[in-house]
Amino acid sequence: MSKTVLILPGDGIGPEIVAEAKKVLDAVNHQENLGIEYSHGKLGGASIDEYGVPLSDETLALARESDAILLGAVGGPKWDELDSAIRPEKGLLKIRSELELFANLRPAILYPQLADASTLKPEVVSGLDILIVRELTGGIYFGQPRGIRTLENGERQGYNTYVYAEHEIERIGRNAFEMARKRNKKVCSVDKANVLEATVLWREVMDRLSAEYPDVELSHMYVDNAAMQLVRAPKQFDVLVTGNMFGDILSDAAAMLTGSIGMLPSASLDKNGCGMYEPCHGSAPDIAGQGIANPLATILSVAMMLRYSLDMPAAAEQIETAVSKVLDQGLRTPDIYTDGMKKVSTSEMGDAVVAAL
Ligand code: NAD
Ligand code: IPM
Ligand code: MN
């Protein structure tokens, strides 16, 4: 039975890295006869330029019909002055929300070949394999009321609302416990329960759930400490579960443990495992168009897609092994370059992964 993957290149380096990831997906598709077909759409600034909105109804319909979505990244200076309701990022938030992609898996794994590429000491990061499970369709990103209002004294005030309902906490918590069961059986729930009531409830629900997973060890940590611990001793963690905003911030920090933000893939899943796959990084306007972006986070996101949404784990492993091989060959985009290695462009890296399949 054929499977359809919707391709959304997005903005900035998005089209450059998606082209390489698609090259790799095409290659395994042909080699292994996977029967994957494609549809194509626009998201973010690219969609604003063509349709005036960051996510069109047509693209959303294509997304609903597809088995999985591959996204590059959205946003850039060209659209930064637009009203927040029609910015590129709104399109991304809308597709996540409309498809109920509440579970965002962000694995931070250090390839041993990149131990020197991290800004942290090799002994701090070597062997690192942690998973950040970020809630993606709730919290302060979506809470109402929100906006900018004018106070009686004429001054303007910006406001957002940090909200979590029990069912939202429970479903992401379950996801984290289930993932931990397949790993090292530890969940650290990250909150700010010393200050924010929404996270007092978060902690309570995690404790309640924990009774159903006696084989998994649950601990709690405040987010400020978690940020520090991630840099001090990241290997103490197995699975970290947290809300939308904390997860966004902590995963960028965790990216640097792996050598570069250009190495961190992600899966955003609904309750049935349908999902969108994208690198954790953004559209990197500062390097867009130069052919130097690291495509590996996007290529590794394709591997996650094959594993989680397309039920093709062997093909996923094939890609991950190929990535490891090109790193063995010493090939490095500038973001992960260290002395003695061979500097390659975005497309040379993609070609090398295809050749290593
Ligand atoms: P960014 O992740 O785009 O870039 C941060 C830094 O990391 C930059 O110096 C960039 O050059 C570098 N970088 C990122 N990806 C890289 C890669 N693959 N290879 C090499 N270097 C890489 O974050 P930012 O600069 O804060 O945001 C830029 C734009 O991207 C904004 O419009 C933001 O809203 C958007 N954004 C989108 C997503 C997404 O689509 N999921 C995620 C984050 C940011
Ligand atoms: C990410 C990005 C997005 C987020 C933005 C662009 C809306 O930073 O995917 O990590 O905050 O979720
Ligand atoms: Mn982010």
Determine the pLDDT at residue 194. 98
293 inside domain: yes
- pLDDT tens string 299-330: 999 999 999 999 999 999 999 999 999 999 99
Tell me if residue 252 is catalytic. Answer: yes
Residue whose C-alpha is closest to residue 71's, from 40, 106, 29? 40
Q: Report the alpha-carbon distance of residue 244 to residue 162 in Å, rounded.
A: 10
Print the domain residue range for 298: 1-111+260-357
Q: Give, for 91, the enclosing helix (H) or strand (E).
A: helix 88-98
Q: Is residue 190 part of a domain?
A: yes
User: Which residue among 82, 84, 93 is best mutated to probe the pocket of ligand 2, counting the most ligand atoms within 8 A of its Cβ?
Assistant: 93
The pLDDT value recorded for residue 349 is 98
pLDDT at position 84, please? 87
- How high is the pLDDT of residue 273? 87
Tell me, yes or no, whether 46 and 165 share the same domain. no
Residues of the chain scoring pLDDT < 50? none
248 labelled catalytic: yes
Active site residue 335: no
Specify the residue with its C-alpha closest to ligand 2, atom 11: 248
Same domain, 140 and 250: yes
74 and 133 part of one domain: no
Q: What is the ipTM of this complex?
A: 0.99
- Kindly report the protein residue whose alpha carbon is nearest to atom 16 of ligand 1: 262
DSSP 103: E
Q: How many domains does the chain have?
A: 2
DSSP state letter for 99: T
Instruction: Give the integer Cα–Cα distance in Å for 317 and 306.
Output: 9
Q: Are residues 236 and 165 in the same domain?
A: yes
Do the domain assignments include residue 352? Answer: yes
Q: Name the residue among 16, 103, 41 with its Cα closest to residue 289.
A: 16
Q: Are residues 136 and 248 in the same domain?
A: yes
**Cα gap 125→138, rounded to integer Å:** 31
Q: What is the pLDDT of residue 85?
A: 87
Does residue 45 contact residue 8 with C-beta atoms inside 8 Å?
no
- How many Å is the Cα radius of gyration of the chain? 20
User: Is residue 135 located within the same domain as residue 234?
Assistant: yes
Position 348 in a domain? yes
Which 3 state secondary structure label does DSSP give 25? helix
Measured distance CA(70)–CA(26) in Å, rounded: 13
> Does residue 270 have an active-site annotation?
no
- Looking at the structure, tell me whether residues 150 and 136 fall in a common domain: yes
Ligand number with the minimum distance to the CA of 279: 1
pLDDT of residue 150: 98
Q: Is residue 283 part of a domain?
A: yes
Q: Is 248 annotated as a binding residue?
A: yes
Instruction: List the one residue out of 88, 106, 32, 96 whose CA is nearest residue 357.
Output: 32
User: Is 294 known as a binding-site position?
Assistant: yes
Q: Please report the pLDDT score of residue 339 as a whole number.
A: 96
**What beta strand segments (E) does the chain contain?**
3-10, 36-40, 68-73, 103-109, 129-135, 147-150, 156-159, 186-191, 217-222, 239-242, 267-269, 275-277, 331-332, 342-343
For the packed helices 313-328 and 296-308, what is the interaxial angle rounded to 10 degrees?
Answer: 160
Per-residue model confidence (pLDDT) at position 308:
96
